[in-house]
A = this chain, B = another copy of it.
Amino acid sequence: VNPDLASERQTPSFSVEKLTALLDGGEENTWVRRAVVEAIESDPVFSRENQYFQSQNEKYEAAVRKAVHLQKKMHEMGWTENGPEFKYIYRALSGEVAFLLHTIFMRSISVLGSDKQIAKWIPLAMQYQLIGSYAQTELGHGTYLQGLETTAVFDITTQEFILNTPQMSAMKWWPGDMGRSATHTVVFAQLYVQGKCYGVHPFIVQIRSLWDHSLCPGITAGDIGPKMSFEHIDNGYLMLQNVRVSRENMLSKFCEVQPDGTYVRRGSQQINYFTMTAVRVALISQEAVIPLMKACTIAIRYSVVRRQSKLKPGEEEAKILDFQTQQEKLLPHLAAAYAFHFINNYLQELFDRGYEEIQRENFNMLPELHAFSSGFKAMVTQYCASAVEVCLRACGGHGYSLLSGLPSLCTRILASCIYEGENTILFLQTARFLIKCFMAASAGHPVPPSVTYLAAVKPGKCPAKNKFDFLSPDIYTQAYQHAAVRLISSTAAKLQELIQSGVKKHDAWNECTVQLVQAVKAHCHYITVKNFAETVERLETKGGIQKIMKHLCDLFALHGIFSNAGVFLHNGYISGAQMDMVTASYLDLLAVIRKDAVPLVDAFDFTDKTLNSALGSYDGQVYQRLYEWAQKSPTNTQTNPAYERYLKPLLHKKLSKL
């Protein structure tokens, strides 16, 4: 181990093992997770060694190979979908595996299909006897589902649906696993029966032959080409020309077209939202928080190995983490990784409770769940995407090398701001909920517990007298609450004024959206700080865990105030003099957490293979690894035809040596 890194681990102020167990939700989980990671990483099929040198085609092939092998592996290891190991598999694979959309294909059949449909399709899909995809998004239509153009017309004479892509913009575009793999897909199309449109419905459509994988009649399909990341996934396009599927292929748990053309709707379709909610909650951890934890691990370990410039004349060059500016880049994001880990736990619990209620046919929690999952998906992915980029930049030139592992984290996490609901649209969905709740609360009506605070507008000022007061969770949580209420109430007021002055409702809404997004962010930030503070409160004091988590909570909260100062200063709740106290405490905390920075990322417990980073390995052998890994690059292993073709004819041949 590099001595500069080793020295950072000598006197942590807390027990790293205990913190890891806390993050895992118990020591038992830590053992299960480690066992899964060990089993996956010791299997050469799952190797990511050449990841940074592969073409899109090579990455796709590797991902398919892994997906197929994973089935065997699970059987071999005795891992089941309900077992404790299951949730760690995707993490252990770093998500580089095909057929994610195949599982969404299965889930949509399970949720939206009749018992007969489930019995027919699920067993085949489980064994990869067919490969499914999920074809919703179109070239010209994304989040706004009602705008989808694909049509499914019921032909009563043959008892079939005829599916068509009426024009270019209606082509399905982006569905994963569809470009080169899928044999089947669930197609979302506007249902027409006897000339009447019944809106968007899901249909199972076969697109490729099971025999030779050739495209089925009427099907045009292929890959949409290169993307910023996710090269291992074959996102595809699909055009349908008079493709006929039987009446039984419309997923019919909630709606059905009967043989005589009668359209029947039964049960609640609200459950659909719940599936989306589930996906959004699940991705927060996998696609945003874990990548941020990885980026922090890499950047912080590198920042104690890297030395640059002298802090004190006459001494050797300093570890870059000893510069205040470097601490300010990395440590607040480390604190955020913890904050988001805890808010994710909170969401997960809320979600589990909601699921129980739904099983009792009580759908009351759905609006709150939808608002929470939307707002936090948007807030956390946006924050983590910026933070990962900061980690990359904080590693200077070497961070920019793919071998650092940071560029691939950075380009991948960016997508999380777009998929499963573009973030701005999600923020505005949460805004609708908050405005509605604010109005209700102001009128004295009951609102969900998470937003009761909206009714409790207290004017007042922040009571902090010195910089130490700002280390009190009550003080800063109150400040966040105050800011959120102010932004929500003032935007609600603007909205009402506009409407009262004669502006149409939808125009008024549009004119408030920039401020509504601000308000939702403030709300989510408040809930995150509050939840972090409450989590710290409940932690055991043993092993120094509570103390270090308290520091991180303070840092997260004060960083938010420092970097959004305007929100808190606006109506004088925090004065300029108090903001100076915030700044002082904030900068003090950087130096405090600096001491434990390495143990705090060690506690995330990523293996070197998981990080796959020349800069972030546990032993800190940064330069050695950069050099060794570079040797494997095709730029070194393949010949250089450019020399023969273009340079050789020019170079001064008379002088082999100048």
Contacts and interface: CB of A to CB of B under 8 A. Distances in A.
A467 to B, nearest CB: 13
A68 interface: yes
Closest 7 CB pairs of A and B: A565-B566, A225-B633, A129-B652, A211-B656, A223-B635, A228-B407, A566-B566
Contacts of A389: 389, 414
A184 B658 contact: yes
Interface string A632-658: 111110101111011110111101111
A216 to B, nearest CB: 8
Contacts of A323: 510, 513
Contact of A651 (B183, B422, B515, B653): B183
A561 to B, nearest CB: 9
Nearest to A308: B144
Contact of A642 (B65, B627, B631): B65
A91 interface: no
Given A226-B53, A415-B400, A128 B647 contact: yes
Interface in A463-492: none
Interface stretch (A135-143, A193-201, A452-460): A135-143
A113 interface: no
B324 A60 contact: no
Contacts of A512: 324
B393 A647 contact: no
A656 B210 contact: yes
Contact of A579 (B209, B566, B651): B566
A397 B417 contact: no
Nearest to A655: B210
Nearest to A231: B635
Interface residues on A, range: 35 or more
A576 B566 CA distance: 9
Interface stretch (A16-24, A168-176, A281-289, A597-605): A168-176
A278 interface: no
A267 B581 CA distance: 50
B324 A514 contact: yes
A387 to B, nearest CB: 13
B226 A401 contact: yes
A223 B630 contact: yes
Contact of A225 (B564, B635, B643): B635
Contacts of A446: none
8 contacts: A56-B635, A213-B651, A222-B635, A228-B401, A325-B514, A393-B417, A393-B418, A514-B587
B234 A635 contact: yes
Contacts of A651: 128-131, 183, 210, 213
A602 to B, nearest CB: 23
B65 A227 contact: no
Given A324-B513, A565-B569, A633 B226 contact: yes
A554 to B, nearest CB: 17
Contacts of A140: 306-307, 623
Contacts of A624: 168
Interface in A219-245: 222-228, 234, 237
A397 B128 CA distance: 28
Nearest to A401: B227
Interface in A183-217: 183-184, 206, 209-213, 216
Contacts of A576: 569-572
B312 A504 contact: yes
A319 interface: no
Contact of A635 (B60, B65, B407): B60
A196 B636 CA distance: 38
